[in-house]
A = this chain, B = another copy of it.
């Protein structure tokens, strides 16, 4: 299956595994790349030298293309970028910040650069800056989220109409039905997070994986609205945050107090149900088992094809 995104990355399957903190190290990324999709290292939870180790291990574990996701707001962003360039990573996804300051370095090194956006204005800016593609991510996505609260279904066609570069849809996609929906909206690939977080190769804690499997449709909650929104499962800690925010509002200072102190590590990596932030998207309600990353890709592609065939039969 060919789209401009599969050609850009030289991959066979238009599925990208989202770079996720405490979830996507070399094991997950290489497992995804080895079946023809695009694996991604999530640098967000790695210090520069740990990132180097994961990059080297991924290169050993797969001969196929993979990428790395870098949150640009990191204090040590220049060190992270230095490692990425020294290790000759060819595909870089940037998020949480503006790519303008850094894109030149990546382009000079021959990297393909993709920026993650949450509205049309950011998409146009990323295109103007020289990005090769964009990920447009909707409100239903897990983890950090745009403040505009635009959903994937509303966002993708508006972004597709606005830019010429290819659009990768993210947020709410966990199966072949969501993938086909994204293509109907004009996306040329999908980025999938939560479904890959609950795989054998995900480096997250088993308790966290199990909570994804158990989550129902309304079990995630968005907090820190208008500041730095985060979507995670509704656990004791997030309920407390939501209650406080609803009753008293939320300031940036108070958010930093609550969100900091390794909440993501605690939730995702240590499996602490009471006190951690277990980030996951609304598609967690579609995840019912912990399987291999290869099986995720296989199932999605099979369901994509069978859904396509069904629609053709039923809507003549």
Contacts and interface: CB of A to CB of B under 8 A. Distances in A.
Copies per assembly? 2
B308 A312 contact: yes
B218 A150 contact: yes
A285 B156 CA distance: 11
A231 to B, nearest CB: 10
A216 B162 CA distance: 11
B1 A315 contact: yes
A183 B312 contact: no
Contact of A312 (B140, B150, B312, B314): B312
A138 interface: yes
Given A157-B175, A157-B178, A308-B311, A151 B247 contact: no
A120 interface: yes
Interface string A170-213: 01110101101111111000000000000000000000000000
A217 interface: yes
Interface residues of A, number: 59
Contacts of A248: 248-249
Contacts of A150: 140, 217-218, 282
Contacts of A304: 315
A311 B184 CA distance: 7
B139 A151 contact: yes
A14 to B, nearest CB: 8
B158 A172 contact: no
